[in-house]
Chains A and B, each alone.
Chain A
Amino acid sequence: MLLLKCPYCGAKAEETEFSGGGEAHLSRQKSGSTDAGFAAYMFERRNPKGVILERWHHAYGCGKWFHAARSAVTLEVFGTYSVQALAPPKDIIAKIRARLPEWEEKK
């Protein structure tokens, strides 16, 4: 069972209250992009067996979207953060590194 905390309303709840939105920090392809670039944006995913940065929707709560850093192996949640952030904040990165010293955020 996955436990998440919404960074907006502060509710801490089980996964049934949220809805997963997939891999985060994908930069949208603009008009004039190549087919390969658009296919990569649209379909290709890192799908890491490790730390995943992803989007979540507080569907049965305040309705806000937010970001989470989570282990896809142990389901440990390292933290949740603003949907407007383009990368995880320093304190979450530190928390991940404390557990997984080798980890690097890959684009």
Chain B
Amino acid sequence: MKKYSGFAIAREAMRSHSGWTRAWPSPELKKAYEVVIVGAGGHGLATAYYLAKNHGIRDIAVLEKGWLGGGNTGRNTTVIRSNYLQDESAAIYEKARGLYEGLSVELNYNIMFSPRGVMMLAQTEHELRGYHRIANANAIQGVKTEMLTPEQVKRKVPIIELSGPRYPVLGALWQARGGTARHDAVAWGYARAASDLGVDIIQQTEVTGISQKNGQVTGVRTTRGDVACKKLALVVAGHSGVLAQMAGFRLPIESVSLQALVSEPIKPCINVVVMANTVHGYLSQSDKGELVIGGGADGYNNYTQRGSFHHIEETVRALIETFPVISRLKQLRQWGGIVDMTGDRSPIIGKTPLGGCFINCGWGTGGFKSIPGSGWAMAATMASGEPDALAAPFGLERFLEGRFVDESVAAGVAH
């Protein structure tokens, strides 16, 4: 792998950029690997990278049915935060946020991490009390957050309307070290770094079946032939149920479409991420100037990657009340991603009923922010065969034991 640097840019500028090579190779699929990871999204690629880097396991194939990072990794609103109520969640999301801070250097790839601050607006008395509680919990967890007064909110976000007719801004939970990153770059950076450590990334290869013998996984069947493996990781978000069915078990997961949209690009007007959870919309401005807006998930199972129109309407209607200045903007693009929702809105990381088969799913509407922590914990779990400390609370067995990590109540919305 050629190292990216200022010197490399200067050198290539001198020779008409003729020396750049492909960021990662496109190898042929081998017949057998020690580890096969299904899904080359952020979580799958991060798992491969940390398996190779932290645990010395390099005989890995990452299989992707479409193109790398073309699922939810390329469809989210790129928000990174770790201000969760439950200790287990705070631990893994804060690990992820911390890794994001150093990720550009670690991967030698600019993921454009921008710790611009995440502001969660309290627009009802109930929500205000809820955020005070989270701020207190975060203080104990060692996650730096604080409460802002409406005046402090206005100072940070001049375009906000504090005294909206339905939902005035009563305060906000502020995480200064939260922010955004370039989502594609996270996938590309992990792919390049993992590939450099010897991981085979195989795109356009769909898994069609999972082979097992005596309750132990032996390999996968794919559109490019059979591949044997000792350990298998299913890291496919919305399609987890489909893969679980191949492996012979069911998951406590339902897949729904979650939407986002961007406005036409405008001059810089907001330099933080604002989340308005009561009205269910959130907003930040990309480096290109587009307002990136996320909204609600569909209320029924589907795999459409499109989503219902009325959710977009609700999101935009709500945001216009809080940000009247955006009312004349045009929508540039809208899209959906298939998110895997668990009952307690927390992920599932760990072992499955099939021996040697591990799963990492259920991140629902909050997958992007957790990519480095998720890959880190998943890799440790797969390497040792037993749940890592970060992953242990999120085992599949918690649904049997009634030991939930209840974040649906903590956030009050579907993330």
Report whether chain A binds chain B. Answer: yes
Which residues of A are interface residues toward B (Cβ below 8 A)? 1-2, 14-16, 19-20, 22-23, 35-36, 39-40, 42-49, 52, 54, 72-75
Residue among B241, B302, B343, B399 having the largest count of chain A Cβ atoms under 10 Å: B302
* A44, closest chain B residue (CB): B250
Question: Which residues of A are found within 8 Å of B399, using beta-carbon distances?
Answer: 39, 42-44
- Say how far B171's CB is from chain A's closest CB, in angstroms: 32
Which residues of chain A come closer than 8 Å to B401, judged between CB atoms?
35
How near does chain B come to A30, taking the closest CB pair, in angstroms?
18
A78 to B276, CA, bound (A): 37
Chain B residues 294-344 with CB under 8 Å of chain A are 299-304, 308-310, 343
The answer to whether A72 and B301 have CB atoms under 8 Å apart is yes
Min C-beta distance of A27 to chain B, whole Å: 15
Given the known A-B contacts A1-B309, A20-B300, A72-B303, are A47 and B253 also in contact in the complex, defined by CB atoms under 8 Å?
Answer: yes
Contact A1 B308 (CB under 8 A): yes
Given the known inter-chain contacts A36-B400, A44-B252, A47-B254, please indicate yes or no for A52 contacting B301, CB distance below 8 A: yes
A45 to B303, CA, bound (A): 15
Known: A1-B310, A39-B399, A75-B302. 18 other contacts (CB 8 A): A15-B300, A15-B308, A22-B301, A23-B254, A40-B250, A45-B241, A45-B253, A46-B241, A46-B245, A48-B241, A49-B255, A72-B301, A72-B303, A73-B302, A73-B303, A73-B304, A74-B304, A75-B304
Contact pick for A47, options B255, B299, B343, CB 8 Å: B255
Listed in ascending order, the chain B residues whose CB lies under 8 Å from chain A are 239, 241-242, 245, 250-255, 299-304, 308-310, 343, 399-401
A36 to B401, CA, bound (A): 9
Q: Give Cα A43 to B95, complex, Å.
A: 28
Q: Which residues of the partner chain B approach A2 to less than 8 Å between Cβ atoms?
A: 300, 308
Task: List residues of chain A with CB within 8 A of the CB of B310.
Answer: 1, 14-16
21 contacts between A and B (CB under 8 A): A1-B309, A2-B300, A14-B310, A15-B300, A20-B301, A22-B254, A22-B301, A23-B254, A35-B400, A35-B401, A43-B252, A44-B250, A44-B251, A45-B250, A45-B251, A45-B252, A46-B241, A72-B301, A72-B302, A73-B303, A75-B304
In the complex, A29→B300 CA distance in Å?
24
Q: Which residues of chain A come closer than 8 Å to B252, judged between CB atoms?
A: 39, 43-45
Q: Which residue of A lies closest to B343 (CB)?
A: A43
A34 vs B401: C-alpha distance when bound (angstroms): 12
Q: Which residues of A contact B239 (CB under 8 A)?
A: 49
| B residues in contact with A43, CB < 8 Å | 252, 343, 399
Partner of B299, one of A19, A40, A48, A74: A19
**Other-chain contact of B300, A42, A49, A54, A74 (Cβ < 8 Å):** A54
List, in ascending order, chain B residues with CB within 8 A of A20's CB.
299-301
How near does chain A come to B124, taking the closest CB pair, in angstroms? 22
- Most chain A CB atoms below 10 A, which of B239, B251, B252, B303: B303
Cα–Cα distance between A48 and B239 once the two chains are bound (Å): 9
State the CA gap A15–B256 with chains docked (Å): 15
**Complex contacts, A15 vs chain B, CB 8 Å:** 299-300, 308, 310
CB contacts (< 8 Å) of B254 on chain A: these are: 22-23, 45, 47
A1–B302 Cα gap in the complex (Å)?
12
Instruction: Give the top 8 A-B pairs by smallest Cβ distance, nearest first.
Output: A43-B252, A47-B241, A20-B300, A44-B250, A39-B400, A20-B299, A43-B399, A72-B302
Contacts of B309 in A (CB 8 A): 1
CB B295 to nearest CB in A, in angstroms, measures 15
B-chain residues with CB within 8 Å of residue A48 when the two chains form the complex: 241
Q: Which residues of B contact A75 (CB under 8 A)?
A: 302, 304
Chain A residues, Cβ within 8 Å of B245: 46
How many Å lie between the Cα of A42 and that of B241 in the bound state?
Answer: 16
Task: Report chain B residues within 8 Å CB of A54.
Answer: 300-301
Give A25 Cβ to nearest chain B Cβ, in Å. Answer: 14
Looking across the interface, which residue of chain B has its beta carbon closest to that of A52? B301
CA distance A2 to B307 in the complex (A): 10
Report A-chain residues with C-beta under 8 Å of the C-beta of B343: 42-43
Instruction: For B300, list chain A residues within 8 Å (CB).
Output: 2, 15, 20, 22, 54
**Which residues of the other chain, A, contact B255 by a CB distance below 8 angstroms?**
47, 49, 72
| B121 vs chain A, min Cβ distance (A) | 25
* Distance to closest chain A CB from B346 (angstroms): 13
| A47 nearest in chain B by CB position | B241
Q: A19-B299, A35-B400 are in contact. Are A49 and B241 (CB under 8 A)?
A: yes
